[in-house]
Structure 1
Amino acid sequence: MRQQKIANTSVAVAELGFGASAIGNLYRITPSDEATAAVEAAWTAGIRYFDTAPHYGLGLSERRLGAALRDRPREEYVVSSKVGRLLVPNEEPRGMDSEGFVVRDDLRRRWDFSRDGILRSIEDTLRRTGLDRLDIVYLHDPDDHWEQAAEEALPTLADLRDQGVIGAVGAGMNQSAMLARFLRETPADVVMLAGRYTLLDQSALDDVLPAARELGKSVVAVGVFNSGLLSVGRPAAGMKYDYENAPPDLVDRALAIAAVCEEHGTTLPAAAIAFPCTHPSIINVTLGMRGPEQVVRNAELHRRHMPDGLWDALRTQGLIRPDVPTENGKRSARCP
Structure 2
Amino acid sequence: MGFGAATIGNLYRAISDETARATVDAAWEAGVRYFDTAPHYGLGLSERRLGAALAERPRDEFSISTKVGRWLEPSDRGGSDLPIGGYEVPADFRRVWDFSADGVKRSLEASLERLGTDRVDIVYLHDPDDHWAEAVGAAYPALAALRDQGVIGKIGVGMNQWEMPAAFVRETDIDMVMLAGRYTLLEQPALDDLLPLCTRHGVSVVAAAVFNTGLMSRPEVSDDARYNFAQAPKKQIARAREIAAVCARHDVVLPQAAIQFPLGHPAVASVVVGARTAQQMSDAAAWMRAPIPREFWEDLRAAGLLGADTPVP
The TM tier, using the shorter chain, reads over 0.9
1:295, distance to aligned residue in structure 2 (A): 0.8
**Residue from 146, 149, 152 that aligns with 1:163:** 149
Q: Deviation per CA, 1:56-82: give whole Å up to 9, x if none.
A: 111011011101111100000000000
Higher mean C-alpha displacement, 238-247 vs 167-176: 238-247
How much is the aligned-residue C-alpha RMSD, in angstroms?
Answer: 1.0
**Residue from 26, 34, 46 that aligns with 1:61:** 46
Q: Is it true that 1:293 corresponds to 2:279 in the alignment?
A: yes
**Residue from 270, 274, 290 that aligns with 1:304:** 290
Alignment of 1:89-128 (within 5 A): 89-90=74-75, 92-97=76-81, 98-128=84-114
Which residue pairs with 2:258 in the alignment?
Answer: 272
1:94, distance to aligned residue in structure 2 (A): 3.1
1:217, distance to aligned residue in structure 2 (A): 1.2
Check whether the contact 1:265–1:307 (CA below 8 A) recurs between aligned residues: no
Distance 1:272 1:61 in 2: 25
What letter is aligned with 1:81?
A: T
Which residue pairs with 2:240 in the alignment?
Answer: 254
1:120, distance to aligned residue in structure 2 (A): 0.5
SS at match of 1:23: helix
Q: Is it true that 1:47 corresponds to 2:32 in the alignment?
A: yes
1:309, distance to aligned residue in structure 2 (A): 2.0
Which residue pairs with 1:234 in the alignment?
Answer: 220
Check whether the contact 1:25–1:57 (CA below 8 A) recurs between aligned residues: yes
For these two proteins, the number of residue pairs brought into alignment is 311
Q: Is it true that 1:38 corresponds to 2:23 in the alignment?
A: yes
SS at match of 2:124: strand
Which residue pairs with 1:146 in the alignment?
Answer: 132
TM-score by length of 1: 0.91
Q: Deviation per CA, 1:176-211: give whole Å up to 9, x if none.
A: 011111111112100000000111110001321121
Distance 2:193 2:165 in 1: 8
Distance 1:264 1:133 in 2: 45
What letter is aligned with 1:307?
A: P
1:232, distance to aligned residue in structure 2 (A): 1.1
SS at match of 1:171: strand
What letter is aligned with 2:238?
A: D
What letter is aligned with 1:87?
A: L
Which residue pairs with 2:177 in the alignment?
Answer: 191
Distance 2:112 2:202 in 1: 30
Which residue pairs with 1:26 in the alignment?
Answer: 11
1:38, distance to aligned residue in structure 2 (A): 0.8
Distance 1:37 1:238 in 2: 28
Question: Percent sequence identity over matched residues?
Answer: 55
Which residue pairs with 2:60 in the alignment?
Answer: 75
Could you list the runs of 5+ residues in structure 2 that have no partner in the other structure? none
Check whether the contact 2:179–2:205 (CA below 8 A) recurs between aligned residues: yes
Could you list the runs of 5+ residues in structure 1 that have no partner in the other structure? 1-15, 332-336
1:259, distance to aligned residue in structure 2 (A): 1.1
Shift >6 Å, 4+ stretches: none
1:249, distance to aligned residue in structure 2 (A): 2.2
What letter is aligned with 2:19?
A: E
Which residue pairs with 2:70 in the alignment?
Answer: 85
What letter is aligned with 2:78?
A: R
SS at match of 1:203: coil
1:218, distance to aligned residue in structure 2 (A): 0.6
1:146, distance to aligned residue in structure 2 (A): 0.5
SS at match of 2:191: helix
Distance 2:64 2:274 in 1: 14
Check whether the contact 2:175–2:202 (CA below 8 A) recurs between aligned residues: no
Check whether the contact 1:154–1:187 (CA below 8 A) recurs between aligned residues: no
Higher mean C-alpha displacement, 92-101 vs 27-36: 92-101
Q: Deviation per CA, 1:215-273: give whole Å up to 9, x if none.
A: 12110000000111111112121211111211222212111111111212211110000
Higher mean C-alpha displacement, 176-185 vs 257-266: 257-266
